[in-house]
Every structure is written in structure tokens, then in C-alpha cells.
A and B are shown apart, each in its own frame.
Chain A
């Protein structure tokens, strides 16, 4: 793992560090890609430069109506999803962000990071490419430069970014009132799926945006156009070539055409012809090419009918509760001077805690190995299973993808702290904000249940009888969060290994949306795999806690 860790407070400081450490260092923001690359030995940076504490980098800017949005380097997928402005005027990007990973990943992963990783299957690049986004890079020596997509993306996981450079913002031209766009993705399952193929399509028609959009009428004579006439089309294809590609022939063909079924079919064929896919574990080249055709045609039909937002949730589940979504805000200061020996200080389950030897490891390992909180589990170490879900500054995250240093000065809640958030009898009408648990309250050691030897017990001296199991496991003193109680009552616990992560996601949802719909409950749990229950009793447990 990494040897030193900086958390500069300004872009200038970050650029200074980049200039100093060059290719022995790596910038980190959300960490969802970089931690994986480090764990798998793809990258071995000696120094991490954490830009997540730089003020302003997590802002979504708008230069003016009809102009561009700017996405700072720390803007997360969920911030895009939650931005009404981006949903309204950059829908393809918003929909791509919504379809990435799971809520915990969207809370950490940044759009800039998705671009810097530059995998052709990365979902946000496709809409950015279709929207003609540009990338502003900065370095100490040469100042800023701005590149187009074609200039920035150079190949599979290759960009024009130099070792001393930083991607400071992405400039995203807003869709015009006469434009409609969307993003479609084919994955191998309904959530947490890497794209087999994705497409972003943006169409412009003078028939749109002025309130006189004609209603399609297939019965009418063809001479009198019944479908919108397309003045301009932009189509980008993901996961079918070393970089995202534009379907130039399809775009040119569509210009000036009435969007009939035949035109859609032919444009989709042309898009498929632009794909240069490979075969891999997710699909063959042949299948991918045909799916480009299918998805392009579907996108064109949806845009023609104006139904591209039909499945956009009225209130997307974010799992940031009532917290400020900007991770790192609670940090008291930037950490410019790395001291490999310095302990990491944080507010852990309401208690000020210092972890002396937690540097250079993930938050998950720091919690388990240094803080002795083994309720948080490791199931995959790659952000797939969600068993490691905790709250970092009130936001649900997968702790296996968070460097422990990012928790410095922050508040972390684990499953062991969940019961302390339970409304107390006296105050159950005015529940405490869950992001401010139990501060100033006397803490008492939790009752120990008879489940095997405890931490620190010596096996060499331990007596017999390690495994007493009693039906009276929950003592009268035991205080539980309502969701914990509901899991017990609904039979939502089987092997229990996924349970802590599911509880943290579910409790965060209930804080964010106290009366969630069935679909919102499912969306909240998409980042948590369970292999025992089939999920039904877990959904029932969440439902039980909702006061209708």
C-alpha cells in the first residue's frame, strides 16, 4: 500500500505535490477505482494526494443559461443524480450516473475519476462524449489546458493526462431547448453491472422545445411529416472499442431526416457498424454489435416519443441521509504535512478515537484491525457486496474502497453504533439527527452476547464451552435501532454476514426518506448482496419500520 499521504487544501498545493512526486504519486478523490488498482497491483503509488478536502472542487457550476456546466474534480455520481439542473439539461449524464454501481459507490466515485480511469465500459464517458464535453487539466509549470474527448481519451485506460497534471474540471455543454438526449445501458444484471454495451444519443429537432411537438400519427400521409425532423444527431457508443466512439455515419444520416421507424432502423444499423467490439467474459463481439443496434433504436424511439425520462425516479435514493453530501467537509483542516507515524483521529460511533497504526490501509481494515470493530465485514474487497457499508460523515460508503486517512477528522458510524441512534423512549417523538449520534451522552459498554470467545480472550487459557447459544440472546437492557429489531422479527437474518451492511444501507434510507416506496427500498439495497434470503424478508423488515 501507499507510504505517504497528503491532503492539500488548495489546487495549487495539489499541483505543487504533483510536480514534486510525479509518477510515484497518484491523486485520489473517491478512491473507488484507485483502491482496486492498488489492491490488484495494477498501480503501486508510494504517495497518495487526496484532493477530496479541497474546497470548491465538489461544486457543480453553470456558466449561464444555454451554456456549459462545470463539474469540479470531486463531483460524485450521486451529486449529479441529485442535481435538478443536470437532470433537466444534461439528462444523458444524469442517467449514466444513476446506472453506475450502487448508492454507496455513487457516493464516492467521481465523474472525473471515472474519466481518468478511462475504461471504455465506464458509463459517464459515453454521455460526456456525446455532449462534446471538454476536460480542463492543470499543472504547476504549464497552467491550464482544455482538451476535447478525442484529445483526452487515448486508448483503453489511457488518457492525455501527464504525471504532473490534474483534471480540475469537466465542462459539459447543456442540452439546448430543442434537444433531447438519453443514455441506455445493457448490463448482465439489474444493478451493480458493468456495461456490456451503452449508448448516449442526443437529437435536435426544431419541432421540440417550442411546445408544438407533433403527435405521431402513423395513419397520416408521409408527405406531411408526422414525426420530428432531426436537424442534428449525436450518438456515442461505449464498451465497443478501445475508447468511446461516435457513430459518425449514423449521425450524418439522421441529419435532416424525419424520424420514421425505417429511419430509426437504418440509423441503428449504421451505429452498429461503427462498433469495433471485442469478445470477453461479458459478451461476444457479435452480440455487442447487435446490442448497439438494439439500444440505439430504443433510444431513438424513446426520444421521438419523449418518454426517455419515464423511468427516472421522482426522488432518487442517494443514501446520504440528511448529511451534507460533500465528503470531507467535517475535516477540520487540510493535512498538508504527512507524518507516517501520526495516528488517525476520528469520531467513531460517537466517541473520539485515535487509531495509531491505521495509515496505509483501507477504512475497512482500520475499523476491523485497529479499532477492533469486526461487525463491519469484508466479502469481496472490490465494492461489489456491500458487507463493509458504514457511514462516513453521514454518507453510506463501502469502507473497503476508502483509504483510512480519508476518515481523519470525520465521523464514522458502524453497525456497532447503530443501536445508539435508536430513538430513546423520552425523545422518540423528536428523533436525534442520526448524523449526530449520542454526543455528550454517557457511553456504557454494550452487553456481550454469548457468541464465541471475545476479542482479547486467550485461547490458551480459555475454558471449555465456547459456543453457548441461548434463546434469550437479546437481554432486557439491549437497545436496538428499529431496523435491527425489524430484521430480527421479520426473519431477515440467516447467515448474517451481509446483515451489518444491509442495516447500514436501510437505516440510512429511512433517515433520508422516512416513508420510502417499495422501489426506493430496493434501490437503497442494490449495493448489498445477500446469498441466503433471496431478499424478501429483508424488504419485509424495512417495510415493517415504515410508519404509514
Chain B
């Protein structure tokens, strides 16, 4: 198939505005007569607010209004479960809303003439606190789950309940029983075990949360904000304000990064609440807020920390026979998307392999930590780390090359997932493994066996001097495109064609969020292709709930896939109308992705997803064995993207995803103690600088078409993230002979590991 714009490196349509400083992000928007809002955060991990006195704040200079829990019409919200108060405190209509459950719970809003006045007045709010005991360890919060693979005991009592609705502090769980796990282990010649611990990660998008709210000329409470799903924001706001959906409008200006961290509400509801309550008091003025970096870091959810117990078996020839896995995820104070995150962990924790006998139990547990939330990969990286470390241990135990072991067991078309149903077709995993292995220097002999390159043959310094040791590691992975697990994925697109004989202009209405990943550019590309017109004639109107239907979330590597299918159908309809001489010719379509099912609660049987993406990677590291510093010198990532709509942007996603995951693997060291966050700044929570990235990153695009994807494309933005930590851990093992089942591989952790020591005293 030859295309006109698909597959070409069209420059991003948003780049000119961004390089000249003209593009407006939420914090850049200024309206005349605007007020400013500051938020009072709890700052305590678990406490009851006995009383709250706002009189001094209300009387402070410049203050226009102070809002508390009593001002919230329906004081609850949450994407998957409405278990979080908008504002915590007494006088609320929501039971239990007088309790703060993590440091980032919000207590009050102060609206003033200036930001400085609003912030100063916040400090004048008097609160009578009753501190409550704090639970930060999921195994202590839900003792029935403790005890590893075989040790759970439902009889163990819960210390205390964190939510009225949850008696056992367990917020979600999945269970898979495929085949006969005992028989699977009996059939194994080799069994390996591991207990893996994956850390919290902060999104650290460069733009802190911000927005502006006002009531528009149609009487709609309007919020201009950076989010990931405008129509879901609209729904959450409408629910909390007790308003009909059509009386709420959400608009996304430019979004300064998201990575999942903007999926849950931050300033959306509070801004809307302020604008709405002000109007009721006769004050018709826009309200703006900007969170500081510290507020951003405590105020939005994080990647879930997980503890994963794994026991896998294989025959001597490398055939996997059994995998038994248990996962406990720290959900933190509220549900957020823990159920969805855990679903992906449930699938990825047994790897992209066909295994006849599988037993998986996964649990998400409430604690008083900052909530676990969506973050690139959505639970996939955690499960992947355990699975791929298990595979590398098996390869060693079997004396088999890790690439060869993977190729032997890997999922291919029609093979069965752990959920008992075939994987959707077009599986490109084998191709990505071969591409990554070859690029990294693996060779295959005449008998078909694979051989790892020497650790130092591809490194800049061929013979490292002590104390430097070098190593190579390999890992691969898969992840679903879209949320699914029975959820009907959908996306709206509308195309209006204008002109006379020829199409002069095509106006595309599409609500998807461009968080920086380049969605709007590929939407224009795909629309131009579907319409058969030059790119320059396509105009995109995006991300305004008043003008278009829902595109669904900019999440789960789903947006290109969903948008493309919606646009293709809308284009077909618009072109039919065009041929019918309609002017403008309008085509509107809601694309529904192929049907999926939830997993059976007892066996996990089901068809959870309609498409997957695939990736394989190799890491080259140099370890300073005296300081423990790990330097990733080179990295190879091969990604099956189905069809690269815009190869330059695809490579940008691979590079960005790999570096973000390298931060997760070796650098980013989230620290909290007793529910308090110790790393709430960019000077204490360190993310990679330009000097911290590998000298060389080979981003390889593999294109095995997805049968249902637009132009063959499948989702791809999360997949390059997935196997990075496991590949790096394998490389560090190759270099040092020490296994690390826990990361980040900070200098001190590696230093301890090399000395056979374990825990870091004095830090959480």
C-alpha cells in the first residue's frame, strides 16, 4: 500500500507556536479582571479535621472567597470509584469526607485578587486536627495478603479501616487459574523464584498543574486545563458540582506533558467549583490557579510501587511449563485507576509467553501514601520487570541464551494468553526480538542457537579498567492497546468538507489530547490520507467538549489507533456526502473497537483486549564497582508499531520512553517516610539530564500490521518503556554477577548489593 502522507515525517503542526513562545499552556492564559486561587493541601497523611476556621483568611487583604468541603455540592470524585472527597473537612454531604488520607488531599480553596494574597490567606486557615494512625505498607494494611506466594491467610485481621466502603483495605484484585499449576511445576526440570520490588515514580512533566475557569456566555462552567480526556474531566466536574453534563465545558490548550499523571483530576473540579460558587454570589470573574512544583508532586498520583512474588518452571529444552505469580500493589489513599493498572500487571507479570499452567493473584491495597495512578505503561512495566527477570534467571539456570529462550516461548499469532484466549493477530514480537538481538550484536549459529556478544565488544572502551565492569542485558515485552477488559473503547470524529468542485478545506473535530506525543499532527496526517487531499487543507479543531464528542483518553497507547479508525470512517461518510453534493459535506462517526470481555473472577478466563504492541531491547552498561554508579552507555529498542504514521514522531516516543524508563531503572529515587514525601522538588527527585542518557540509542521500527489498526498502525507510546528496567538489571548482573530484584539501581543500592548488604538504613 502506498500512501501520500502516512509514513512521512510531517513536521509537527504545534511546533512553530512552541518554538516562538506563542503557544499558551494553561498557566499562560490571562483574562481581564481575573482572580487567583490557592489550594490548602492537607500536609498530613491521615487525620480527621475536627474543625476548620476560615474567618481570618476570608478577612485577609484581597480575599474574595474561601471554599471548603461544605461548599462542594456532591463531595466525591474518582475515575473508577468515587472514593475521594473534592475537599476534605467537616460539613460535607459525603460520609468520611472529614478525613484526609494522604498529604495531597485538598482542604480549602482561597480566591483572591492576586496569587500572593491567595497564598498568604491560605496560611491563615485554622484547622483542628486529630491525627490518626498511618498505614504505609500494603502488607500491613491488608495482612490477609501477606506471606508471599503460599502464605495468604484471610483470617488475619485488618489493623483499621481506611475507607468506609472497604472492610479489608483491598481496593481491587484479579485471579487467573489456567491449567493445573501443580502439574506444571511437576513437569518442570528447572524452577526459579524471585521476590521483586518496583518503586514509585513521579511523572515530573515540566508543566505543573494549572488552569482557568469561568462561566461562558452560554452559562457553562468552563475550565481551560491540561488533562488527558476532556470529556471525562467534564463528567467528573458535572458530578461534583451536581450539574447536568451540558452545563460544563472543558477546553484543553497546550499540555505540558502528562504520561498518565493528568488522567485523574487535579485542578479541574476545584477551579470549576470556585467559578460556579462565585457566579452564585454575583461575581462573574475568571479564576486561575497554578500549582507549584511541590504541590504538583504531592498533588497527583504516582506509578504504583509493587511487590511481586514469582515462581516459574521450564523443561530442560527451555519450554515454559508453569508460572505462579502474586502481586501486591500500593494503591495509596484512593482508587484512581488502580483496577486498570492492576489488570495490565495481571497480564504482563507472566510475560509475552505462552505458558500452559498459570496461577496469578494480584491485589491493590489502600494505604496513606500518595495514590498509585496511571503512568506510561499502566502497570505493565512492573509486571514486565518480574517476568523478564524470571526469564533471565531461567536462561541462566538452563544454560541457554536469553534471546533463544524467549524466541522458544514467545507469543505468536493464535497462541493462548494466560487468560485462555488467543492473542489478537498480527503479533510482531518474534520480529522485534530478532531485530533487537541482531542490532545489539547477537549472532545465530548454523544449528540455530543464539549467542550473546562479548560484553565489551560494542563499547567505546574495549577493555574496561577496574573498577569499571561492563555487561549486556536483554528483555522484551508486550502491552495492550486501550483500557478494555470489557470496556467498550470508543472514539468520535467529525469531518466537514468545504469547497465547490474541489475540497478547499477539511475541518476535523477531534477531542483527543495532545500531551506532547504529537497526536494532533498524526490526526491531520491520517485525515488527509483518508480524504485523499493535501495536508495543508486539513484544519483541526481539537479538545473542546462543547464542539465535539469524546475521543476517549490520551492513554494506554490508544489514541492513534482509535483516532485513525474514527477518522477513516468519518472521512468515508464525508466523502459520500461530498459526492452527494452536500456543502459542507459532513461525516461524523463514533468508532467502536472490537469487543472484549472482563476476566472471569475465579479463573481469569476472557478476551481482555483487542490489540497489543510489542518491544524487545538490549542494554549495555558500565558499572563502577567502587561507587556503585551504573552508566547505561548504549541502548537498543525494537518496537513493532504496526505502521509508523510519522516515523520521526515514533522514534521520538521510543527515545523519550526509553530515557524515562532509564530514569525509573537507575536514577529516580522516590522517598517517603510515614506518608510524608521527602522528594517533593526537582532538586531532590532527580530526573535524567542530557548527560545521563546513553551515548547511543538505536530506535528500530518494526512494522507488522495490526489487522484492525488504521493503516495497520498499533499503539506504541508505552511499549518502549516496558522492558527497560529488566534489561538494565540483566546487564548489571552480566557486569557484576549480582542480581538486583529491586530498583532503582542507585549508586548506593548497587554498592550495597556488591557488598552483599541489603537494606538502606535511615531511609524509607
Interface of A with B (CB < 8 Å)?
A: 1, 186, 188-194, 196, 279-281, 283-287, 290-291, 294, 368, 372-382, 384-385, 387, 414-416, 418-419, 446, 448-449, 451-462, 464-474, 478, 480, 484, 487-489, 491, 493-500, 503, 522-523, 525-526, 528-539
Residues of A near B686 (CB, < 8 A) are 188-189, 192-193
Residues of B near A530 (CB, < 8 A) are 206, 690
- Cα distance, A455 to B25, chains bound together (Å): 12
Choose among A446, A484, A531 the residue with the greatest number of B CB atoms under 10 Å from its CB: A531
5 new A-B contacts, CB < 8 A, other than A294-B626, A532-B257, are A189-B688, A378-B208, A385-B682, A452-B24, A484-B20
- Cα distance, A381 to B447, chains bound together (Å): 60
Within 8 A of A (CB), among B487-525: 515-518, 520-521, 524
Return the contact of B207 from the options A495, A522, A523 (Cβ within 8 A).
Answer: A495
Residues of A near B16 (CB, < 8 A) are 449, 473-474, 478, 480, 488
**Interface membership of B398, Cβ < 8 A:** no
Q: Are B649 and A467 in contact (CB under 8 A)?
A: no
**Interface membership of B671, Cβ < 8 A:** yes
Contact A531 to B547, CB < 8 A, known contacts A468-B540, A503-B19: no
Residues of A near B656 (CB, < 8 A) are 494, 531-534
Choose among A378, A451, A497 the residue with the greatest number of B CB atoms under 10 Å from its CB: A497
Q: Are A284 and B23 in contact (CB under 8 A)?
A: no
Taking CB as reference atom, which chain B residue is nearest A297? B626
Q: Are A470 and B689 in contact (CB under 8 A)?
A: no
Return the contact of B206 from the options A291, A385, A449, A525 (Cβ within 8 A).
Answer: A385
Within 8 A of A (CB), among B78-97: none
* Segment among B172-180, B478-486, B531-539 that sits at the interface with chain A: B531-539
Residues of B near A466 (CB, < 8 A) are 224, 251, 253, 544
Q: Are A452 and B253 in contact (CB under 8 A)?
A: yes
Q: Are A536 and B697 in contact (CB under 8 A)?
A: yes
Q: Is the interface of B mostly helix, strand, loop or mixed?
A: loop
Q: Are A488 and B515 in contact (CB under 8 A)?
A: no
Return the contact of A472 from the options B251, B536, B547 (Cβ within 8 A).
Answer: B536
**Interface membership of B603, Cβ < 8 A:** no
- Cα distance, A522 to B693, chains bound together (Å): 10
Q: Are A467 and B692 in contact (CB under 8 A)?
A: no
Contact A494 to B21, CB < 8 A, known contacts A281-B671, A378-B27, A452-B29: no
Contact A279 to B763, CB < 8 A, known contacts A467-B543, A526-B689: yes
Q: Are A382 and B293 in contact (CB under 8 A)?
A: yes
- Cα distance, A534 to B292, chains bound together (Å): 24
The 6 A-B pairs of least Cβ separation, nearest first, read: A375-B21, A495-B516, A496-B18, A534-B659, A497-B256, A279-B762
Within 8 A of A (CB), among B719-764: 746-748, 751-752, 760-763
Q: Are A381 and B293 in contact (CB under 8 A)?
A: yes
- Cα distance, A213 to B440, chains bound together (Å): 45
**Interface membership of B255, Cβ < 8 A:** yes
Q: Are B516 and A488 in contact (CB under 8 A)?
A: no
- Cα distance, A286 to B11, chains bound together (Å): 52
Q: Are A465 and B19 in contact (CB under 8 A)?
A: no
10 CB < 8 A contacts A-B: A287-B747, A446-B22, A456-B31, A468-B540, A480-B19, A488-B16, A494-B652, A531-B660, A532-B656, A537-B655
Residues of B near A414 (CB, < 8 A) are 21
Taking CB as reference atom, which chain B residue is nearest A491? B648
Q: Are A497 and B11 in contact (CB under 8 A)?
A: no
Contact A491 to B746, CB < 8 A, known contacts A279-B761, A384-B682: no
- Cα distance, A509 to B693, chains bound together (Å): 20
Choose among B11, B515, B697 the residue with the greatest number of A CB atoms under 10 Å from its CB: B11
Q: Are A374 and B28 in contact (CB under 8 A)?
A: yes
Contact A456 to B30, CB < 8 A, known contacts A189-B667, A468-B540: yes
Return the contact of A189 from the options B257, B679, B689 (Cβ within 8 A).
Answer: B689
**Interface membership of B542, Cβ < 8 A:** yes
**Interface membership of B409, Cβ < 8 A:** no
Residues of A near B100 (CB, < 8 A) are none
Q: Are B652 and A533 in contact (CB under 8 A)?
A: yes
Choose among A287, A495, A537 the residue with the greatest number of B CB atoms under 10 Å from its CB: A495
Within 8 A of A (CB), among B524-572: 524, 535-536, 538-544, 546-547
Residues of A near B691 (CB, < 8 A) are 189-191, 522-523, 526
Taking CB as reference atom, which chain A residue is nearest B516? A495
Total A-B Cβ pairs within 8 A: 315
Q: Are B541 and A467 in contact (CB under 8 A)?
A: yes
**Interface membership of B51, Cβ < 8 A:** no
Return the contact of A381 from the options B17, B203, B292 (Cβ within 8 A).
Answer: B292
Residues of B near A469 (CB, < 8 A) are 13-14, 520, 524, 539-542
Choose among A453, A489, A494 the residue with the greatest number of B CB atoms under 10 Å from its CB: A494
**Interface membership of B252, Cβ < 8 A:** yes
- Cα distance, A462 to B690, chains bound together (Å): 42
Return the contact of A188 from the options B14, B217, B747 (Cβ within 8 A).
Answer: B747
Interface size on B, residues (CB 8 A): 108
Return the contact of A191 from the options B224, B690, B747 (Cβ within 8 A).
Answer: B690
Choose among B252, B258, B656 the residue with the greatest number of A CB atoms under 10 Å from its CB: B656
Residues of B near A471 (CB, < 8 A) are 10, 13, 521, 524, 535-536, 538
Return the contact of B22 from the options A449, A503, A525 (Cβ within 8 A).
Answer: A449
Residues of A near B683 (CB, < 8 A) are 194, 380, 382, 384
**Interface membership of B286, Cβ < 8 A:** yes
Nearest Cβ distance between residue A497 and chain B, in whole angstroms? Answer: 3
Residues of B near A285 (CB, < 8 A) are 762
Residues of A near B12 (CB, < 8 A) are 488, 491, 493
Taking CB as reference atom, which chain A residue is nearest B752? A287
Q: Are A467 and B10 in contact (CB under 8 A)?
A: no
- Cα distance, A372 to B24, chains bound together (Å): 12
Nearest Cβ distance between residue B220 and chain A, in whole angstroms? Answer: 11
Residues of B near A531 (CB, < 8 A) are 203-206, 257, 259, 656, 660, 687
Q: Are A495 and B627 in contact (CB under 8 A)?
A: no
Return the contact of A488 from the options B15, B23, B660 (Cβ within 8 A).
Answer: B15
Q: Are A453 and B689 in contact (CB under 8 A)?
A: no
Residues of A near B761 (CB, < 8 A) are 279, 284, 286
Contact A191 to B692, CB < 8 A, known contacts A460-B217, A536-B697: yes
**Interface membership of B214, Cβ < 8 A:** yes
Map CB proximity to A onto B662-699 as digits: 1 under 8 Å, 0 otherwise. Answer: 00000101010000001101111011111111000100
Residues of A near B10 (CB, < 8 A) are 471
Residues of A near B539 (CB, < 8 A) are 468-470
Q: Are B19 and A487 in contact (CB under 8 A)?
A: yes
Residues of A near B542 (CB, < 8 A) are 467, 469
- Cα distance, A156 to B671, chains bound together (Å): 23
Q: Are A453 and B24 in contact (CB under 8 A)?
A: yes
Q: Are A186 and B652 in contact (CB under 8 A)?
A: no
Map CB proximity to A onto B81-117 as digits: 1 under 8 Å, 0 otherwise. Answer: 0000000000000000000000000000000000010
**Interface membership of B658, Cβ < 8 A:** yes
Nearest Cβ distance between residue A219 and chain B, in whole angstroms? Answer: 19
- Cα distance, A535 to B658, chains bound together (Å): 11
Within 8 A of A (CB), among B639-654: 648-649, 651-652
- Cα distance, A286 to B761, chains bound together (Å): 9
Q: Are A494 and B746 in contact (CB under 8 A)?
A: no
Q: Are A532 and B253 in contact (CB under 8 A)?
A: no
Nearest Cβ distance between residue B370 and chain A, in whole angstroms? Answer: 16
- Cα distance, A494 to B18, chains bound together (Å): 9
Nearest Cβ distance between residue A529 and chain B, in whole angstroms? Answer: 6
- Cα distance, A480 to B21, chains bound together (Å): 12
Residues of B near A503 (CB, < 8 A) are 19
Return the contact of B659 from the options A1, A382, A499, A535 (Cβ within 8 A).
Answer: A535
Contact A382 to B681, CB < 8 A, known contacts A496-B14, A535-B690: yes
- Cα distance, A526 to B689, chains bound together (Å): 6
Taking CB as reference atom, which chain B residue is nearest A294? B626
Return the contact of B689 from the options A190, A493, A499 (Cβ within 8 A).
Answer: A190
